[in-house]
Amino acid sequence: MRQRKRLIINVLSNYTAFGVYGVVNIFLVGYVIRIIGKDAFGIVALVMSLIAVTELLGRGVGKALTKYVAGEASKGELERVRCFVNTTLVWLFGCGVIGAVICIILAGYIDRIAQIPEELVPDARGAMWLMGLRVFLCFPFNTFQSLLWGYQRYDLTNLARIVTVLLRAALVIAWFELVSAGVVELVAITIVSLLVERVLWVMFALRIAPKMQFAYRLVSLTTLGTLVGFGGLMLIIDVANMIGYEVVKWVVAIKLPVRDVGAFAVIGTLAAFAGTMARSIAQVLVPAASRFDALSQHEMNDRLGRASTKYATIVGAGLCIAPLPLLRPFLTHWVGDAYTPEYLRQLAWAGTTLLLGQWFVGCAVCLLQMLTGVGRVAFPATVTLCWSVGGVTLVWVALHWAHASILGVSVLIATARAIGSVVHFVYGARVLRCETRDLVVGSVVRPLLAGVLACAGAYLLAGYLDVYRVTGFVGAALALAVLFTLAVWGLALSSGERAELKHRIGF
């Protein structure tokens, strides 16, 4: 299959999977908060965030596996692919054991780490024990996800994700309505659904790589050194992202009630959904960039970087900028029963800040993923670590010595993300030798203008329609979607891109 067609299939499957995941997750968050309460949901957010910590040792190696499988498979080196896969499988098994032990140890101290109501401490400990089981059972099988990504079969991993997300939603609703509802039940259902996803990964991987072999002789210290050498740099990025996205929840939990942790997770869910949709394009670029680099087709990486950044920025503008005036009424419809109107107002401003910070991340994420594909990650890893540590340090200082609020936390984290993303963007453009004017004006500024214009339209819609009624909100959202589409067509797309789209859809 041609590389262009494979990229299109992967991006479309990413959009479908992440769209389904985002919509279902947003629905489940609102549903779970209403059923088990905001304090219990805060515990769930804390426990789930711990996964990033316990999986740190292996995530970098998993990403390295994707890079090396893509490069070796493109050259027909199947024996090397087998060595990389077997070595990664053994490494991730060991990391799973370590992660499980960490979860079990932390379970005994969770009430000392976070401000958890006394009656919920047993549930928090039980959830932590279950998360240890989840890490031990699930983590080694991440090898097969990385293998599928190396063969650029994101469509298959996305199919598994869609099945898992829908299964989890169905099980949660059925169990909560028919049996019992609680923190432990939610975590247990999540583990069952994730095991189903891993089984699908294994089935798909063995189908795509039928000559794959599993044997101890294929486990190599030399191969492990290669994986860890590159994976070590990816580990720095993973540590940094974990600090910036997950550890901040634990910092908030130390200084603020667990209710605020849940509230931060609510707006974090929206920002994560917007970021995930923007990364739908970026995620498929690592094996493609690695393949072009292995074949010395460097000009293709330049074109790929400019085109992917443009469409990721369009998606980011549509999700992070255009709908900002509708954020508060959306939160009211989503989780309004659990929080006071004044708290929702503060939460809306905090969410606005996180979304703006996420837009900056979306501008740089494609170039950053391509740098991973070509093996130029030392400087980006350092920058990512600096912004994340700096952001969390500022959050700690603000919560300790200044006014403690979710809005203050969001402003500091968003500012750190924006600064780091600008540095990533400039460095990526230079390394990939992208045409600067075309990249900045065509791929960033013009989509931004489309988002700002749509945002102004959303502000007018919010003033003329009763968006705090469901019908008014839906009408405003549909009108905003049409307005943003027109703005993108007129401002973001070039005349050549419009002509190509017309040709492809038959006009």
Confidence of residue 260 (pLDDT cuts 50, 70, 90): confident
Rounded to two decimals, what is the model's pTM?
A: 0.71
Q: Cα separation of 483 and 280, whole Å?
A: 23
Which stretches within 209-284 are classed as H helix?
Answer: 221-242, 248-255, 258-282
Is residue 388 over pLDDT 90?
Answer: no
Is residue 93 over pLDDT 60?
Answer: yes
Q: What is the predicted pLDDT for the residue at 172?
A: 93
Q: What is the predicted pLDDT for the residue at 382?
A: 81
Confidence of residue 374 (pLDDT cuts 50, 70, 90): confident
484 and 450 in contact (C-beta within 8 Å)?
Answer: yes
Q: Please report the sign of the dihedral spanned by the C-alpha atoms of residue 147, residue 151, residue 154, residue 159.
A: negative
Q: What is the predicted pLDDT for the residue at 500?
A: 73
Confidence of residue 160 (pLDDT cuts 50, 70, 90): very high
Confidence of residue 295 (pLDDT cuts 50, 70, 90): low
Angle at 410 between CA 472 and CA 106, to 5 degrees: 115
Q: Which has more confidence, 349 or 225?
A: 349
Give Cα 127 to chain centroid, integer Å: 23
For range 283-307, the mean pLDDT: 70
Give Cα 208 to chain centroid, integer Å: 26
Is residue 243 over pLDDT 70?
Answer: no
Is residue 146 over pLDDT 60?
Answer: yes
Confidence of residue 55 (pLDDT cuts 50, 70, 90): low
Confidence of residue 402 (pLDDT cuts 50, 70, 90): low
CA-based R_g, the chain, Å: 23
Q: What is the predicted pLDDT for the residue at 12?
A: 83
Specify the range with the lowest mean pLDDT, choosing from 119-128, 193-202, 248-257, 304-313. 248-257
- Average pLDDT of the chain to the nearest whole number: 82
Helix, strand counts (H, E) of the chain:
22, 0
Q: Which has more confidence, 190 or 282?
A: 190
Confidence of residue 304 (pLDDT cuts 50, 70, 90): confident
Q: Which has more confidence, 445 or 48?
A: 445
147 and 209 in contact (C-beta within 8 Å)?
Answer: yes
Q: What is the predicted pLDDT for the residue at 221?
A: 83
Confidence of residue 272 (pLDDT cuts 50, 70, 90): confident
Q: Which has more confidence, 183 or 253?
A: 183
Specify the range with the lowest mean pLDDT, choosing from 151-155, 391-395, 430-434, 464-468. 391-395
